């Protein structure tokens, strides 16, 4: 039997992790975070599918492909977190558990980062724990619904 799939989505500029503002986001690369998330998913008997895009519409298309196919969804939407109602609407169409994930704690940063337009439609949020958040998010997404 095939394993359930958790989709991990990475939004704009996250492809530059490791080089981009390391004092805020750390020195680990996106590949490092994906590897940690994948190891956690596999230890729980799940498969992890990762996509990164700098384009809002592409992320929305990817969420549509998760509908009816993936058991859970994790997204670090980058700055789209703060203004993309289209992304929020797409997330609301996904039937399984959803985790909003951030390396930094946007609530403790600039005023404009304090608003998340996706927060009202996700199951929960993990923010501010750096790379530790990736395996945590997998555990939360995969565990949600099992008590
Ligand atoms: C981020 C926080 C966002 O405010 C920012 O625009 C990012 C990264 C994080 O992971 O901390 O691109 O989502």
* Centroid of ligand 1 to alpha carbon of 103 (angstroms): 7
SS3 14: helix
**What is the β-pairing status of strands 72-76 and 98-102?**
parallel
pTM as predicted: 0.97
Is 79 touching ligand 1 by the criterion CB < 6 Å?
yes
**Any residues with CB less than 8 A from the CB of 17 and at least 6 apart, and which?**
25, 26, 28, 29, 30, 33, 103
Query: Which CATH number is 22's domain given?
Result: 3.40.50.9100
pLDDT at position 1: 72
113 lines ligand 1 (CB under 6 A): yes
Top-confidence residue, 145 or 72: 72
Mutating to test ligand 1, I would choose from 106, 109, 114 the residue with most ligand atoms within 8 A of its C-beta, which is: 106
Going from the Cα of 91 to the center of ligand 1, the distance in angstroms, rounded, reads 18
pLDDT(144) > 90: no
Q: With bands split at pLDDT 50, 70 and 90, how would you rate the model's confidence at 147?
A: low
The residue whose CB lies within 8 Å of the most ligand 1 atoms, and thus the one to mutate among 30, 102, 114, 122, is 102
Give the model's confidence band at 145: pLDDT under 50 very low, under 70 low, under 90 confident, else very high: low
pLDDT in tens, 60-114: 999 999 999 999 999 999 999 999 999 999 999 999 999 999 999 999 999 999 9
Predicted confidence at residue 110, as pLDDT, reads 96
Total structural domains within the chain: 1
Long-range contacts of 84-89 (CB under 8 A, 24+ apart): 84/56, 84/117, 84/118, 85/117, 86/56, 86/57, 86/60, 87/56, 87/59, 87/60, 87/63, 87/117, 87/118, 88/117, 88/118, 88/120, 88/121, 89/121
Query: For the segment 23-45, what is each residue's pLDDT rounded down to a tens digit?
Result: 999 999 999 999 999 999 999 99
Task: Check pLDDT > 60 for residue 56.
Answer: yes
Could you list the residue range(s) of the whole structural domain that residue 133 is in? Answer: 5-146
Q: How much distance in Å is there from the Cα of 3 to the middle of ligand 1?
A: 30
């Amino acid at each position: 039997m095939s394993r359930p799939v958790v989709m991990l989505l990475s939004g704009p500029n996250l492809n530059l992790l490791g080089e981009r503002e390391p004092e805020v986001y750390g020195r680990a690369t996106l590949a490092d975070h994906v590897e940690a998330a994948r190891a956690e998913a596999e230890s729980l008997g799940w498969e992890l599918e990762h996509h990164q895009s700098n384009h809002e519409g592409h992320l929305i298309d990817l969420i549509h492909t998760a509908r009816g196919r993936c058991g859970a969804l994790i997204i670090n939407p980058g700055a789209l977190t703060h203004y993309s109602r289209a992304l929020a609407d797409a997330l609301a169409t996904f039937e399984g558990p959803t985790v909003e994930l951030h390396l930094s704690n946007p609530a403790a940063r600039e005023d404009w980062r304090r608003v998340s337009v996706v927060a009202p439609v996700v199951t929960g949020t993990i923010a501010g724990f750096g790379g530790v958040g990736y395996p945590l998010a997998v555990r939360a997404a995969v565990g949600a619904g099992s008590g």
